Structure 1
């Protein structure tokens, strides 16, 4: 049984939220895969993770190298898991289909994008009956997370 977390971004953008969640993932000793919808977004996230904060280091790489299996965080556009990640992040057009093989899925979507909100609702309905624990979190006006639903 996996834990599936839906993060509805309202005040802080993906670039502010994802690195913090990835840090917490690594602190727990888990590896992560970050799936996005395009190579351009994968490259942008890769560049951002190298420079997002001066006092932080998030070891990661883009999928497709000989060292994919060694990466603590792997950024991809595909559905593979070559680094044996326990946690899979979805953002920018990538939508979870199944939690099989993972301890946790983290789905980040913008509340300012009607298509992303519709895709999140569809994913919630599709994943709800699989026996996993789903929680839906939304940012308040200060960027704090409020739990809005659980299934």
Structure 2
């Protein structure tokens, strides 16, 4: 059951910040599923993870790959049926994911543009209506 949702808003470069969050979660010894809106966004984020920092690597793969069970960061465009494959969900899918409550923690990244901010308000309202604790982090200038 979801215990907390963190919104990181006014993020200048959402994909770069998503890489940073993935590294942070992984550094704490937790696994992470990154939910992306479509295959093109998944591909772009996959490329970003490979090139994010020249001296580090974030082990990752698609959720449906054979090595997924042994990989700390998983990428998907849909949530799998059954129990959550990881305790943390980073939602980059632009909406409220179905069955998000299977994850212990949700992370949401919101860009600086008006469309992203409007979408985030709708998503936050849905989470609040479900009675979930929502924490906001203002990332202006970062």
Q: Please, which runs of 5 or more residues in structure 1 have no aligned partner?
A: 144-151
TM-score (norm 2): 0.86
Counterparts of residues 69-80 of structure 1 (less than 5 Å):
69-80=69-80
Q: Distance in 1 between matches of 2:21 and 2:138?
A: 15
Q: Distance in 1 between matches of 2:84 and 2:3?
A: 18
Residue deviations 1:103-151 (CA, integer Å, cap 9, x gap): 2100112121x3322221111111113332101222223x1xxxxxxxx
Give me the CA root mean square deviation: 2.1
Counterparts of residues 50-69 of structure 1 (less than 5 Å):
50-69=50-69
CA contact (8 A) 1:70 1:83 kept: no
- In terms of fraction of residues, the more helix-rich structure is 2
Say which is worse superposed, 60-69 or 37-46, in terms of deviation.
60-69
CA contact (8 A) 2:92 2:108 kept: yes
**Equivalenced residues, count:** 140
Alignment of 1:111 onto 2:126: no
User: Which residue number in structure 2 is paired with residue 149 of structure 1?
Assistant: none
User: Which residue number in structure 2 is paired with residue 146 of structure 1?
Assistant: none
Q: Describe the SS at the equivalent of 1:5.
A: strand
CA contact (8 A) 2:61 2:73 kept: yes
Residue deviations 1:5-62 (CA, integer Å, cap 9, x gap): 111134x301321111111101221100001111011011111101211221100002
CA contact (8 A) 1:37 1:93 kept: yes
